[in-house]
Structure 1
Amino acid sequence: MTDGGVDRSVECTGSINAMISAFECVHDGWGVAVLVGVPNKDDAFRTHPINVLNEKTLKGTFFGNYKPRSDLPEVVEMYIKKELELEKFITHEVPFSEINKAFEYMLKGEGLRCIIRMTA
């Protein structure tokens, strides 16, 4: 269907199988796969070496290469103007005394964003 593979693929799930598929489905010679999702800490990315030798490109990014110093003021401004609804991204809130619960949500893939309250 794609005559040898796709030019670009982007993986955003964190599923190791999706990451491998995203890399393996790009076209030999010029295909680029970008991994955005964060995998489980015990997952291993495994592919046949020929995928690299065939000049496919694999890239990764944490947080979309977000630069807090220069980008954060713009995000705050968007939030103040009600152009960005951050509340939609918060799945849990826990007090600091239960911080380990926040890590459990993250490691189980049950939480998108967890707010940790520093006060009781």
Structure 2
Amino acid sequence: MSSQKTRYGISHVVSCRALGVSQSWFYKWKDRIGGAAPTGREQRRARLDAGIGRLFAASGGTYGSPRITRDLHELGWRVSQNTVAARMAELGLAGRAPKKRRSLTRPGKRSAAPDLVGRKFTAVAADV
């Protein structure tokens, strides 16, 4: 849009209207490109990502978002578990899943015990 103003004399107002963007967005974008400084939100997100990465590495890659959220709260962060989970997903960090409970009896491993008594379980009618 800036080049249109210098090259053709088209004002920012007309350019913004033609492109369907607000003038405030254009000026915000223009100011941002000039300094290229990250916003406060981006700075906080970068610090949060560093904290999450540090805690995840300290846990040996086992902690998930609930535990890391608790640790961040202890360090003074005000952040929700959903935010930590989203940031971890974006960083590609996943905690170790809890082990599945193992049953002592495993179907299919052993054959059924032989019926030494010779019981008959057939009924002559229903409910008899």
TM-score by length of 1: 0.22
Which protein has greater RCO, CA pairs closer than 8 Å, 6+ apart?
Answer: 1
**Which structure shows the higher helix fraction?**
2
**Which structure shows the higher strand fraction?**
1
TM-score by length of 2: 0.21
